[in-house]
Amino acid sequence: MNSDGRCRRYPTTPHEIAQQSRPPPISIHGALHHTRAMNSPSPISVVKVLLVEDYAPIRAQLEQWVLTIPGATIVGTADNPDDALDVIGATQPDVVVVDLQLKSGTSGLTVLESLHDRAPSAVAVVLSNLVYPQIRQACFDLGARYVLDKAGEAFRLREAILDIAAGKRPT
């Protein structure tokens, strides 16, 4: 989050990336791309990830986790639905990781409702403490591909992003 309390947008264009103090893991020029890592026999999918989480310590942990995924880059973060939808429109992420309980009582369901209008190829991964059966079904009905419980399934986020990058569907 920026000092003014707004969402943070990560650089995605070559010019923006060049302005960074540290080089990105892999540069991006669109949706899913394939590249070969040095000494790697197989292509690695590059995937752009947006994190929608209002609690800063969890958001920071998610950022760290995502950046350990080969080929993954974070194109932005948001703590409320309006900012999330703005970032989705501006960055066209491949994966949107969204919490259901957001700032000021807002809901991540709002993000799910509008996601495919803003970024048709984006895949939603819900990571929340509110994963009761009815909520899970509502998320799936709104197009979420994964619905993970923060308390017991957060470790599956890495697997979910890798599966999405590889074009796999959940089993």
For each of the domains in the chain, give its residue range(s) and CATH number, in order of start. Answer: 47-165 (3.40.50.2300)
**pLDDT, tens only, 19-48:** 443 333 322 223 333 333 333 344 556 899
143: left (phi over 0), alpha (psi -120 to 50) or beta: left
Tell me whether strands 72-78 and 95-98 are parallel, antiparallel or unpaired: unpaired
- Per-residue model confidence as pLDDT tens digits over 89-138: 999 999 999 999 999 899 999 999 999 999 999 999 999 999 999 999 99
Is residue 171's pLDDT more than 60?
yes
Nearest-angstrom CA–CA distance, 55 and 150? 13
**What band does 61 get if pLDDT is binned at 50, 70 and 90?**
very high
158, amino acid identity:
R
pLDDT-based confidence at 4, cuts 50/70/90? Answer: low
* The pLDDT value given to residue 170: 78
pLDDT of residue 12 exceeding 60, the answer is: no
Arithmetic mean of pLDDT over the chain: 81
Question: What pLDDT is attached to residue 57?
Answer: 96
Specify the amino acid at residue 163: D
Q: What is the pTM of this model?
A: 0.75
